[in-house]
Amino acid sequence: MAKILDKKLVSPAVYELVIEAPLIARKCKPGQFVIVLSDPESERVPFTIADFDREKGTITMIIQVVGNTSRHICEDYEAGDEWDNIVGPLGQPSEMKNFGTVVCVGGGIGVAPVYPIARAYKELGNKVISIIGARNKDLVLWEERMRAVSDELIVCTDDGSYGHKGFVTDPLKAMLEKGEKVDYVIAIGPVIMMRNVARTTEPFKVFTAVSLNTIMVDGTGMCGGCRVLVGGENKFACVDGPEFDAHKVDFANLMERQKMYKTQESVEWGCGGA
Ligand code: FES
């Protein structure tokens, strides 16, 4: 059993949940995920570990309600309730070392999985520049947490209601064009954002990692939902990743596959594929 210690709505349809999971908290590393089974009738769903506290024995997850199962997991349980089980940590941890200057890019709820990675880079002595983005001010996630682990934080909103008006790639591109020192980039967020970050850094030959956690379905390596072409080879985000070399990911193929799943989700939600 996994007890929910705290639950709060952090932006529309996005919940922050703190779970009692001492064994996972003790072992997990930035970049890894867990699989939640809220009750035996439900389905297993993977979620990235957004924070962990080894002393308190807790992990934190940010979950966006996007379908029936995420709605059930978030909205049918309150603090004090228990999920049936939680398995982890799973997936390959992020590569951790002192690269020099690291730019951590998080878009939407992708800021949550970026946070423990940025914190660990900072602890290893990297200069951490974080760029976080959202559609508007109300959707900006974990700004203060990110500020606390960054040497510099740039906030972007698509509509300009807060911070820089525009996309996370704008300040990144400006930095690279000015010749500022950037040794490593990690980007987590919507697939289109990660593709655009990869396109931005490629001409400057800056190694860029993307975390494809959002494309996972069951997280066990069995459903094939997270299959992605990386350097021409088939990889599974949940087993071989979720982090990959962004310049080797076939984003065109990935986005095609995502469209197929989106249609199926819409049908599941009774929207007739609309
Ligand atoms: Fe099912 Fe990776 S999520 S195989």
Q: Do domains 2-90 and 101-259 have the same CATH topology?
A: no
Q: How many residues does the chain have?
A: 274
55-95, pLDDT tens digit by residue?
999 999 999 998 888 899 999 999 999 999 999 999 999 99
Class of domain 101-259: alpha beta
The C-alpha atoms of residue 266 and residue 158 are separated, in whole angstroms, by 25
**Is 154 annotated to bind ligand?**
no
42 CB-side CA count, 13 A = 21
Q: Dig out the tokens for 256 from the structure.
A: 């095609």
| Residue with CA at minimum distance from ligand 1 atom 4 | 221
91-114, pLDDT tens digit by residue?
999 999 999 999 999 999 999 999
Return the CATH number of 2-90, one of 2.40.110.10, 3.40.50.11540, 2.40.30.10, 1.10.3720.10.
2.40.30.10
**Is 223 annotated to bind ligand?**
yes
Look over the chain and give the mean of its residue pLDDT values, rounded to a whole number. 90
Q: Does ligand 1 come within 6 angstroms of the Cβ of 61?
A: no
The predicted pLDDT at position 216 comes to 82
Q: 55: CA distance to ligand 1 center in Å?
A: 31
Q: Are 169 and 197 in contact (CB under 8 A)?
A: yes
The set of residues, in sequence order, having a beta carbon less than 8 Å from that of 66 and lying 6+ positions away, is: 13, 265
DSSP-derived secondary structure letter, 212: -
Query: Hey, where are the domains in the chain?
Result: 2-90, 101-259
Closest CA to 116 of 93, 139, 87: 93
Q: What is the mean pLDDT of residues 224-241?
A: 91
SS (H, E, C) 63-91: EECCCHHHHHHHHCCCCCCEECEEEEEEC
The set of residues, in sequence order, having a beta carbon less than 8 Å from that of 205 and lying 6+ positions away, is: none
